[in-house]
Amino acid sequence: MREGGKILAKILDEIVKAVKPGITTKKLDELTQELIFANGAKPAFLGYDGFPAALCASVNEVIVHAVPSGDKLKEGDIVGLDLGILYPFKDCAGCFMVASCGPEKKTEGFYTDMAITVPVGKISKEDEKLIDVARESLMVGLEQVKPGNTVGDIGFTIQQYVEKQGFSVIRNLVGHGIGKELHEEPKIPNFGQKGEGPEIKPGMAFAIEPMIAAGGHELIKSKDGHGFETKDKSRTAHFEHTVVVTEEGCEVLTKI
């Protein structure tokens, strides 16, 4: 998972650099797929529940799971880029795709997952604050990932931070365990109460992903059939890291 996390972060960093006014999210997805396969990994989202792309590219009021399209990004937009990979993976001949081949390297693949929200050109001060708060809420949430704490401690801390800044946390969607499967138990809500939920123990791996909105937290399904957007059309931001719990605390596997 450490190896996969490094690869995933490197790929998403390249995608972020490609974001600019005039580019389509479909073009970003094409670049994403090229980079994933070039690095011996496999897209985690492509084909998952019928999702037709590798990259979720969610613009403005769309919080997650938007299908890349031919629509061009515009100056002043903000776009959430959510990406997961499986590394290593078996090709059609049953061979594991790894950086250095050899029998000792042949292990089953693991998933990693991450997300970042970025500006398209120059954005408003309000949107800058929204992105900053979402990013920082992930950081304060990660501080609660340590043995002896609970999943509720993570959600409580994220919710308190976000709401004090005047934003809302999305309730319909949550983070999750991750490893041999893309989505595993336990669920990691971005709200909750201290001391509630499963206890955090060394060896656990989570995808922690605060999703916040400038307005209300109620969501509706997007027209593409996969995305979710705010009912009141307020803008949104989403950040995510895959982490593993250690004896001392948590190790972030998807640092850019």
Res 98 pLDDT > 70: no
Percentage of residues in the chain with pLDDT exceeding 70? 93
pLDDT of residue 108: 73
The pLDDT confidence band at residue 96, using thresholds 50, 70 and 90, is very low
Tell me how far CA of residue 236 lies from CA of 13, 73, 82, 99, 165, in angstroms.
20, 16, 13, 37, 14
Sequence-ordered list of residues with C-beta below 8 angstroms from that of 38, at least 6 positions apart, any chain? none
Domain range summary for the chain, segments of one domain joined by +: 2-118, 122-252
Same fold, 2-118 and 122-252: yes
The pLDDT confidence band at residue 102, using thresholds 50, 70 and 90, is very low
> Which tens digit of pLDDT belongs to each residue from 120-146?
999 999 999 999 999 999 999 999 999
pLDDT of residue 35: 98
State CA 5 to chain mean position distance: 12
Res 207 pLDDT > 60: yes
> Which tens digit of pLDDT belongs to each residue from 148-169?
999 999 999 999 999 999 999 9
Res 101 pLDDT > 90: no
What is the mean predicted confidence (pLDDT) over 229-234?
Answer: 98
Q: Which fold has domain 122-252?
A: Creatine Amidinohydrolase (3.90.230)
Which sign does the torsion angle of CA 43, 46, 47, 49 carry?
Answer: positive
Enter the CATH code of domain 2-118.
3.90.230.10
Beta strands in 69-201 (DSSP E): 78-87, 89-90, 96-97, 110-119, 168-169, 175-177, 184-188
> Which tens digit of pLDDT belongs to each residue from 166-201?
999 999 999 999 999 999 999 999 999 999 999 999
Distance CA 116, CA 119 (A): 10
